[in-house]
Amino acid sequence: MALLPILRYPDPRLHTRAQPVGRVDAGIRKLVADMAETMYAAPGIGLAATQVNVHQRLLVLDISEDKSQLQVFINPEILSRDGECTGEEGCLSVPGIYETVQRSERVRVRALDRDGQPFETDATGLLAVCLQHEIDHLNGKVFVEYLSRLKQSRIQAKLAKQARITA
């Protein structure tokens, strides 16, 4: 396994629309393992392939307290959505920034698991929010893009300053 570098907003590669995974083979399983390791090390609760500059429709997440329940969604599709909720979100590609975003409260998602088997799941709460956030990444969208232009430029300035300090 290997830790993968995570792209940072406003890297334009974060705006790439990912392509469907054709076949769940050894290469995809290696990518899943590396992405999981990268997510746990960060630490984060979700990671989309887009964030590690791989433009295939694949995401990993683990919202469990003890980080023991890795979930893998390959070619995820939102079949239906219901309700509304707002909550504070963060992102490994936008370090140190937490902002309130409006999402659907419940989503039904279809995907392939890490063995390439199709499944469907009804997600609510944190899982629903996390899935919407990560699927947005696969569509080239970062959560701060739901905010006003002014807020986005303030965040970009703050991140640029952070990068200078840590460089």
At closest approach, how far in Å is the CB of 129 from Ni ion? 11
Count the Cβ atoms, other than its own, within 10 Å of residue 79.
Answer: 11
Decide whether 28 or 138 has the Cβ nearer to Ni ion: 138
At closest approach, how far in Å is the CB of 20 from Ni ion? 20
At closest approach, how far in Å is the CB of 39 from Ni ion? 10
Residue 118: its H or E element? strand 118-124
ω into 10 cis (within 30 of 0):
yes
At closest approach, how far in Å is the CB of 144 from Ni ion? 10
Decide whether 16 or 120 has the Cβ nearer to Ni ion: 16
Decide whether 91 or 97 has the Cβ nearer to Ni ion: 91
Catalytic choice (37, 77, 105, 134): 134
> What value does the CA radius of gyration of the chain take, rounded to a whole number of Å?
15
Q: Give the DSSP letter string of 59-102.
A: EEE---TTS---EEEEEEEEEEEE--EEEEE--TTSTT--EEEE
Decide whether 117 or 158 has the Cβ nearer to Ni ion: 158
Cβ-proximal residue to Ni ion, closest one: 91
Q: Is 134 a catalytic residue?
A: yes
Tell me how far CA of residue 24 lies from CA of 9, 20, 91, 146, in angstroms. 29, 11, 26, 32
Chain residues binding Ni ion by CB under 5 A are: 91
Catalytic residue numbers read 134
